[in-house]
A = this chain, B = another copy of it.
Amino acid sequence: MSIRINEETLDPKDWKAMRALGHQMVDDMMTYLETLRGRPVWQQIPEKVRRNLKKPLPMKPQGAKRAYQDFIENVLPHPMGNIHPRFWGWVEGTGTPFCMLAEMLAAGMNPDLGAGDHVANYVEAQVLDWLKEMLGYPAEASGLLVSGGSMANLTGLTVARNTMAEFDVRQHGLQASRKMIFYGSTETHSSLQKAVELLGLGSDSLRTIPVNGQFQMDIEALETAISEDESEGYQPIAVIGNAGTVNTGAFDNLNALADICAREELWFHVDAAFGAWAALSPKLRHLVSGIERADSLAFDLHKWMYMPFELGCALVRRKKDQLQTFALTPDYLARAKGGISGGPVWYSEYGFQCSRGFRALKAWMSIKEHGIWKYGRLVQQNVDQARYLAELVDAAPELERVAPVPLNIVCFRFAANELDNAALDELNSEILLQLQESGVAVLSSTMIKGKYALRVAITNHRSRREDFELLVREVIRLGNILVQSRKNPKNE
């Protein structure tokens, strides 16, 4: 009937060759992961590689094989290092070989979990149910898998803002509203400040409450702040509890916060980005007591659940609140009684994204692979490693621990007696740099009560005790060398 024209596709002409390339990739990546420990954690990227990554836009095809070759030469050898056993910088994740494969499956199926009746949405529902069960959160709560803790916190705070407002924020905006106040401790993660800024509330709206010696929110100070704000004519909206702060791994007294929220009729949001997973270990579970009382809850799976980026989750106690905040159904997304436009849940109605990838699959597959008890043992293992490192630090006269270790984060510094704080800050930042540049270990830094601290955050299923022993030896060795070179400066 029609004239046959020569239609093109992005599928390979030679499927056999693409298959062979896939096999090659699996082999290369498995070897890469199996031999990780023998390589430096991190290395400076050579100038040549930087230049190779500033190439003109390719107009003509290079082909799959050549593109992969380029990856092997320029990309794979220069990783961040966070999958290495001795990476403990910031709070990062590691991923697993099976999750890596699961991401391939997800990208092959490539469904859109924003809309439609298809299996991926049931997988996400299953994962959400499991997560609620893991955290003791009500089974009837709603939720959404999101890109990470920032989006999870944003999701929770948006529902809080819209639900608690005295008027319809979605329609009218904040322009005529009273100042809405959110409360969090001084240790609250920056994503919460970014969230209140994005939401149009202004960082002025985030009241930061001081902490006690355990880096927990000062409950009395919170109560005072709430009553002061009320007498100023502001509207207190929500208290943000921390379950595992980013600086020191501290837990707020979640039950005390929940009590205040109940009494004052405030929203209770918990940022449990990585601390949520204390729930999986019988010895640690008490730390998250009260988390099940949160009105909204944010946490990651791509960090302390060791899954690849990006995978966070927001849970909301009352489904109605979440839907009223996010559901919007234009004509072209109309639901139908059956067919692909049917189905029980359209996740685009539960959050900000419209199209959504199949991030649920890696969670579903790896929870099945390992079972939850094993995750609990690994979380406990990381906490035991943190305590072990704290013991090593405490036993070493050259080292000073600068914060308690309630969970998996150890903050310490090399502290030679004869140096003042400014000199120690400089010396420790040099130790940090040399550790990184030698490829021995990656830590990050933070400031604890005015002191520059080396910060070790352990969310790594590949770390072993011997790795922390090596770390302590190296910090002492580098510290001593640096102190010596201060005393005997060359060429002076």
Shortest beta-carbon distance from A305 to chain B in Å? 10
Interface string of A307-325 (1 = CB under 8 A from B): 0111000000000000000
A285-326 contacts to B (CB < 8 Å) = 300, 302-303, 306, 308-310, 326
A461 and chain B: residue at smallest CB distance: B10
Given contacts A147-B353, A151-B353, A333-B90, contact A368 B70 (CB under 8 A): yes
For A193, the chain B residues whose CB sits under 8 A away are: 328
A393 CB to nearest B CB, Å: 14
Could you list 9 further interchain pairs (A-B, Cβ under 8 angstroms) beyond the known A9-B378, A148-B355?
Answer: A11-B96, A70-B368, A80-B116, A81-B118, A148-B354, A190-B330, A247-B332, A334-B447, A336-B432
Asked if B33 contacts A332 (CB within 8 A), the reply is: no
Chain B residues near A21 (CB-CB < 8 A)? 98, 101
A389-436, CB < 8 A from B: 429, 432-433, 436
Among the listed B18, B95, B190, which residue makes an inter-chain contact with A97, where contact means beta carbons less than 8 Å apart?
B18
Interface string of A238-262 (1 = CB under 8 A from B): 0000000011000000000000000
Select A80's contact among B66, B94, B102, B112, beta carbons within 8 Å.
B112
User: What residues on B are CB-neighbors of A109 within 8 Å?
Assistant: 75-76, 79-80, 83
> How extensive is the interface on chain A, given as a class?
35 or more
Binds B, one of A125-133, A213-221, A223-231, A477-485: A125-133
- CA distance in complex: A33, B19 (Å): 11
Q: List 27 A-B contacts (CB under 8 A).
A: A7-B465, A8-B378, A10-B374, A22-B97, A23-B23, A25-B26, A26-B104, A29-B104, A45-B117, A58-B372, A60-B373, A67-B368, A71-B365, A76-B105, A79-B119, A80-B111, A81-B118, A82-B111, A90-B115, A169-B202, A175-B178, A198-B352, A199-B199, A199-B200, A331-B446, A332-B445, A336-B433
If A126-B54, A173-B201 touch, whether A2 touches B355 (CB-CB below 8 Å) is: no
Task: Answer yes or no: A437 CB below 8 A from chain B CBs.
Answer: yes
Q: Which of B7, B74, B99, B154 contacts A107 (CB 8 A)?
A: B99
A150 and B352 contacting across the interface, CB-CB below 8 Å: yes
Asked whether A202 lies within 8 Å of B175 as measured between CB atoms, the reply is yes
**Closest residue on chain B to residue A365 by CB atoms:** B67
Q: Output the nearest chain B residue to A85 by Cβ-Cβ distance.
A: B9
**Out of B55, B173, B338, which one reaches A202, CB within 8 Å?**
B173
Provide the residues of chain B in CB contact with A429, threshold 8 Å: 336
Q: Are the CB atoms of B169 and A306 closer together than 8 Å?
A: no
Assuming A8-B381, A378-B8, is B175 touching A197 (CB within 8 A)?
A: no
**Are A172 and B204 within 8 A (Cβ)?**
yes
Chain B residue with minimal CB distance to A173? B202
B442 A134 Cβ-Cβ under 8 A: no
Known: A19-B26, A42-B118. A82 touches B105 (CB 8 A): no
A174 and B190 in contact, given A61-B371, A332-B455 (Cβ under 8 angstroms): no
Render A195-214 as a binary contact track against B, CB cut-off 8 A, 1 for contact.
01111111111000000000
Asked if residues B201 and A198 are in contact (CB atoms below 8 Å), the reply is no
